[in-house]
Structure 1
Amino acid sequence: MLSTPQPSTVSLAGCLREVHHLALNVKDLQVARHFYGTVLGLHELTGAEVPETLKAEVEAGKIANFKTPDGTIIDLFWEPELSPPDSDPKQQFTRMNHFAFDIAPELFDRAVEVLHHYNVLIDHGPVSRPTGRGIYFYDPDGFMLEIRCNRQP
């Protein structure tokens, strides 16, 4: 029988500042680079921008790094033998459901058009909620992503 953890006064509350980076395994690094760099328009780190600890792997073509507008880094790790447990990306195969990119409300429809232009597999949406709008879609390796915006005032 599992025991319920007891409340503790020891925690990291107030210590964590932000997401430092996300690291994703990808089967085809060039396809993933095109998706994150061209389709989503994220800035790919090059030269001195690449973290020192990853320079050798980036130079060897094993890792690519992208920076979101808020500064979060997305590391793509090339794993050529990678295959999800199910060929249907709608069958979730990790404990992570999705991660979301925020966009200004006036640019949301353009984002949807870009996804359609590149024939990106849409899971569902656009959806409208009291809090805003969102569209859920898959990257080339089956990770679900969302582009979302807050409700316009």
Structure 2
Amino acid sequence: MTKSKDREGIGLNLNTLRGVHHIALNVKDMSASRYFYGTVLGLYELTGNKVPETLVKLVAEGKVTNFELPDGTILDLFGEPDLEPPNADPTQQFTRANHLAFDIEPSLFDQAVEVLRDNNVPIDHGPVSRPTGRGIYFYDPDGFLVEIRCDPQTKVR
């Protein structure tokens, strides 16, 4: 994306932003969400001296939990016990965010689907196959739509 002449000087230069630093989600039940993201989805929970200094007190109080993905992206869960979605039907999206997508190796996709099923995770739809790969869409304990997706498997000759 390039700047037009009439907008020169407005906005950041191309490639200034390096990537997603963290994603923060409000969750109603911290225990259920920690289990879901840590045990079911297998994300690495930050503990001890790995917790960001600015969040140590909130983590100690059980109000925040941090997970790190293999690419270094941080997922922060903020406990909001009074959180209620505007619509009890999880298929009616209630935020500007559409969904959170995690990438997985194609050879592990079917195993991930089985883990979701074994843990009775509510599936929205899928698995689906597209030219861009495979995906399955499901809900976290707060009704937020999550996806596990993989690139197409390359054919071995």
Aligned pairs (5 A) from 1:93-112 = 93-112=94-113
Aligned pairs (5 A) from 1:107-122 = 107-122=108-123
Deviations 1:21-79 (A, max 9, x none): 01100000000000000000001000000000000000011100011111110110000
- Which whole-Å CA distance do the structure 1 matches of 2:8 and 2:128 have between them? 40
- Which whole-Å CA distance do the structure 2 matches of 1:121 and 1:7 have between them? 46
2:75 alignment partner in structure 1:
74
CA RMSD of aligned residues (A): 1.0
2:3 alignment partner in structure 1:
none
- Cα drift, residue 150 of structure 1: 0.5
1:3 alignment partner in structure 2:
none
Q: State the secondary structure of the residue aligned to 1:25.
A: strand
Percent identity at matched positions?
Answer: 67
Q: Unmatched 5+ residue regions in structure 2? A: 1-5
2:138 alignment partner in structure 1:
137
Aligned residues: 148
- Cα drift, residue 142 of structure 1: 1.1
- Which whole-Å CA distance do the structure 2 matches of 1:131 and 1:84 have between them? 32
Deviations 1:114-152 (A, max 9, x none): 000001011110000011100011100111111000011
Q: Unmatched 5+ residue regions in structure 1? A: 1-5
1:83 alignment partner in structure 2:
84
- Which whole-Å CA distance do the structure 2 matches of 1:34 and 1:8 have between them? 48
- Cα drift, residue 87 of structure 1: 1.3
- Cα drift, residue 9 of structure 1: 4.0
